[in-house]
Amino acid sequence: MKKTLVLFTIFCLCISCNSKESTKKKKIEAKPKALLESINRGNELYVDMCINCHLADGKGVAKIFPPLDNSDYLKKNRKESIKAIKYGMSGEITVNGEKYNSQMLPLGLSDDEVADVMNYILNSWSNKNEEMITVKEVEKAIQ
């Protein structure tokens, strides 16, 4: 009888250890999964709405359409880039030492679509971004 009780206790301990282990793993995976899903949705938006000008390799067209791949403008001006995608952009900007003075019309994206396409361009080609763009950040940036 005692032996059964000891075995039962060990069994319960194992279960509780295992379940703790799996919740830990889930927590670590949660963030990148949300980011990956956002990037995937952003990829589709990019192909539909941005690729014509900024091109599949994100390098744009010199002096006409600025690059997004390795763009110092995009890296340094997160807020302005969010605004540009939401409301369009015009006037002179300098991207990687090259001047652009053209116009990007508003693309009609919702706030969560802006977040998705930002997550896509910030994590594509040679771009890497640790901090995921959330809908909240978009809402704040476009106020």
CA distance 51 to 16: 50
Residue from 70, 102, 129, 134 touching ligand HEC (CB under 6 A): that is 102
Residues within window 44-63 making contact with ligand HEC, judged by CB under 6 A: 45, 49-50, 52-54
121 binding ligand HEC? (CB under 6 A): yes
Residue from 38, 81, 119, 124 touching ligand HEC (CB under 6 A): that is 81
Residue from 55, 104, 132, 135 touching ligand HEC (CB under 6 A): that is 104
Closest listed residue to residue 81, CA positions, set 26, 137, 40: 137
For the record, the structure tokens of 89 come out as 């952009």
Closest listed residue to residue 67, CA positions, set 111, 123, 125: 125
What residue has token string 């927590």? 27
Residue from 107, 132, 135, 142 touching ligand HEC (CB under 6 A): that is 107
CA distance 109 to 30: 26
Q: Which of 29/37 has CB closer to ligand HEC?
A: 37
Q: Which of 73/133 has CB closer to ligand HEC?
A: 73
What residue has token string 């476009």? 142
| Residues at the site binding ligand HEC, with contacts judged by CB under 6 A | 45, 49-50, 52-54, 65-68, 71, 73-74, 81, 84-85, 89-91, 93, 95, 100-104, 107, 117, 121
